[in-house]
């Protein structure tokens, strides 16, 4: 299977969640076992030799591939959640999104300074949620943080917002309005 094939299966929803946004619905991939296997296996190949001890999945689509990838990497899985979803003591950070403010949280004992952490989400667009997730994980002072998304919308140039010592990788790069790069 190719990245072009995956792109052809990706559902695009215009004007969601607000006018002008071209929402990339990765759940169309999760319904197809060939697509899902391709994504998980490819990400495993990217990270199998990086010493990752924890995968942090960003709510909610980041949970799906993040948990599968953690399993394949023999790493722990940590959910990064919206407020009010975690039952134990937590740490949180507020951030600005393109259409308002939001907050993400983690349990206070999720990550140690001995961990090498991969933060996973489905998509990198403006970078607000992932940058907040990075800052939240960074507060635990792990050995290293890496970031991965299935899709990066390259027209936003959001990788530039992250520190140089934090690799930000994506499996598929597309322009929001064009196609595969």
Catalytic residues: 61, 98
- CA nearest to 57, candidates 66, 70, 47, 44: 66
Residues 64-103: b if buried by 16+ CB within 10 A, e if exposed: bbbbbbbebbebebbbbbeeeebeeebbbbebeeeeeeee
8 A C-beta contact, residue 137 and residue 118 = no
The token pair that represents 139 in the structure block: 């507060």
């Amino acid at each position: 299977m190719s990245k072009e094939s995956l792109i052809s299966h990706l559902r695009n929803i215009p004007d969601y969640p607000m006018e002008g946004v071209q929402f990339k619905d990765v759940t169309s991939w999760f319904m197809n076992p060939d697509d899902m296997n391709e994504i998980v296996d490819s990400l495993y190949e990217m990270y199998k030799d990086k010493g990752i001890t924890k995968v942090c999945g960003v709510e909610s689509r980041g949970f799906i591939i993040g948990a599968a990838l953690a399993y394949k990497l023999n790493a722990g899985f940590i959910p990064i959640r919206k407020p009010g979803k975690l039952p134990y003591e937590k740490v949180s950070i507020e951030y600005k999104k393109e259409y308002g403010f939001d907050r993400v949280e983690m349990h206070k004992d999720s990550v140690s300074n001995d961990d090498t952490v991969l933060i996973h989400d489905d998509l990198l667009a403006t970078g607000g949620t992932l940058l907040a997730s990075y800052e939240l994980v960074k507060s635990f002072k792990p050995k290293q943080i890496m970031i991965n998304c299935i899709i990066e919308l390259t027209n936003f140039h959001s990788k530039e917002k992250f520190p140089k010592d934090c690799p930000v990788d994506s499996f598929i790069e597309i322009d929001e309005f064009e196609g595969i790069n």
